[in-house]
A and B are shown apart, each in its own frame.
Chain A
Amino acid sequence: MAKIFWVVCPKCDRKFYANKDDFRFQDRKLMCPFCGERFLDKEAKAVTDSE
């Protein structure tokens, strides 16, 4: 599977993951599947990279 990284939503504190090539260190806003918040990876409350 594509490389992933986990993020914690800055608004609702829930965790989900995204494709690393698509979002990590890119100027592209993630979309929290739980609350709809849009944010960059650097704005996440926490980030866990797969490697």
Chain B
Amino acid sequence: MAADLRTFIKKLQAAMPEDVIVVKKEVDPKFEITAIQQKLENEGRFPFLIFENVKNLKGKKSGFKVATNIFAMRQYCAVAMGLDREQWRMETSFKFAERCLQPLKPVVIDKADAPVKEVVRTGDDVDLRDLPVVTHHEMDGYPYLPDAVVAADPDTGVYNSSHHRMIVFSKNESRIWMSPRHLWNYFMRAQEKGKPLPIAHVLGHHPGFYLGTEAISSMEVDEYEVIGGVIGEPLRLVPSETYGDRLLVPADAEVIVEGEILPNLRDAEGPFGEFTGYYGPQRWSPVIKITAITHRKDPIYLNILVGHADTAILGGIPKEAGIYEEIKRAVPGVKGVHFPISGCCRFHAYISLKQRVDGEGIVAGMAAFPHHDELKHVIVVDDDVDPFNEREVLWAMATRVQPDLDINIIKNARGGTLDPSAVKHAVGGKMIIDATRPVSRPFSERINIPAEVMNRIDLKDYIA
């Protein structure tokens, strides 16, 4: 059986049954699903949720289930990578990186064998409002398809998969905002020829599909191959309804929305609640004509909640092992890299290392920045501090840092496009906080209980 959302759900139910919650009560996709997620988050809970009874955008029973929070705990990503739930720290990041280096060529299957072709809607039957598209946050206003968009390079045919939202504006019209990366590059080249860019929105697949989409690859790399590597088997593809072999789509997806980004046509799109936890502004964005919707007979619509743990962790894990390798070239003693949720898994990195000589903490910090332009603040700690334990990291900062000596600030570096604190667009500062102990002078010893006693004491003997 091909890896897909369903095989993952079964795996998660076996590995973490207490964290999979099925909601039977009817919900409206406009704010109700995200309100439930927010209330759970307020209690520190991030269960994988499956809503069985969800209305569509016409207020009627949709017939789609909605699953969400699939990335809201690192343990879910560990399970998706074939690891035990306890291996959620660097093990998961390393496994992701290892799999990215083993790309697998996709295979094309017949339409009759493709689960996503069980129901095909084209022409007048296309209506986005039949789907349970979630409206996430108040100022979004409109519902948005959350993730991910696939397209073929108009010149080379190489596939790109990327994280882009698409507003649902009417039954067959959407709009998309693209930062100037690969999909934007594809579109600009198509537009220069006066042609639309065919795209497909993949709603529901194995989590490895979306983690693989986050892999940092050059534009010449076929991301269907990278995704196959991350999932651990060749991705099964099938010709799209609208474009046939010109646009192959994932056969094991739950839902595929096909369309084309129209050349030289723009309209208002946004605001939209972004990964930063703030709304991005309304923009003048390209228009998409929706041409087909295909899905399974009992589809599970996967929603990814932007601006919360669900999207933060999805973005963080793929960066950690890459940055670890960059740092290791300069500082062999690096032990761990963590992009914490408190920094939206983009803006902060906690790096732990065994420092051999003074100054390696700063070098490690500098080595981290080129890998990801959104990274702003790096805290470097010794290897007695767990970078995945934020309280320990901040304790090290509290006790091993003198601000006038240990904080280094770099001005006017390339930054993220969505950082609300940036004064210049995509330009900003970087900060390295060296919270390591000095190597070349004596430093206070951390308190401890003798190891022999710690090993001897069993709490069960003393505390009921």
- Interface of A with B (CB < 8 Å)? 1-4, 16-19, 22-23, 26, 28-34, 36, 38
Of chain B, the residue at the smallest CB distance from A2 is B425
How far is A34 from B284 in the complex, measured between Cα atoms in Å? 18
Q: Which residues of B lie under 8 Å from residue A4 when comparing CB positions?
A: 281
Q: Are A3 and B271 in contact (CB under 8 A)?
A: no
Q: List 27 A-B contacts (CB under 8 A).
A: A1-B280, A1-B422, A2-B281, A2-B283, A2-B417, A3-B425, A16-B139, A16-B141, A17-B281, A18-B271, A18-B281, A18-B282, A22-B284, A23-B284, A26-B284, A28-B284, A30-B268, A30-B282, A31-B267, A33-B139, A33-B140, A33-B141, A33-B142, A33-B270, A33-B271, A34-B141, A38-B268
What's the tally of chain B residues with a CB closer than 8 Å to chain A? 20
Chain A hits for B277, CB < 8 A: none
* Most chain B CB within a 10 A radius of its CB, from A17, A31, A33, A38: A33
- A17 to B279, Cβ gap below 8 A? yes
A32 and B268 CA atoms in complex are apart in Å by: 9
The interface residues of chain A lying within 8 Å CB-to-CB of B139 are 16, 33
Taking CB as reference atom, which chain B residue is nearest A31? B268
* Bound-state Cα–Cα, A15 to B417, Å: 23
Contact B281 A28 (CB under 8 A): no
Taking a contact as CB atoms under 8 Å apart, the answer to whether B417 and A23 are in contact is: no
- In the assembled complex, how far is the CB of residue B39 from the closest CB belonging to chain A, in whole angstroms? 23
Q: Tell me the complex Cα distance, A28–B40, Å.
A: 40
| A15 nearest CB neighbor, chain B only | B139
Task: Say whether A17 contacts B418, CB under 8 Å.
Answer: no
Interfacial chain B residues near A36, Cβ < 8 Å:
141
Q: List which B106-150 residues lie within 8 A (CB) of chain A.
A: 139-142
- The answer to the question of B420 belonging to the interface, with a C-beta cut-off of 8 Å to chain A, is yes
Task: Please name all residues of chain B whose beta carbon is closer than 8 Å to the beta carbon of A34 when the two chains form the complex.
Answer: 141
A-facing residues in B253-312 (Cβ within 8 Å): 267-268, 270-271, 279-284
Task: Tell me which residues across on chain A come within 8 A of B141, comparing CB atoms.
Answer: 16, 32-34, 36
- Given A1-B418, A16-B271, the answer on whether A23 and B282 have CB atoms closer than 8 Å is yes
In the complex, are the beta carbons of A19 and B418 less than 8 A apart?
Answer: no
Please determine whether A1 and B425 come into contact, CB atoms closer than 8 angstroms. yes
Closest to A3 in B: B425
Once the chains are docked, how many angstroms separate the CA of A51 from the CA of B140? Answer: 24
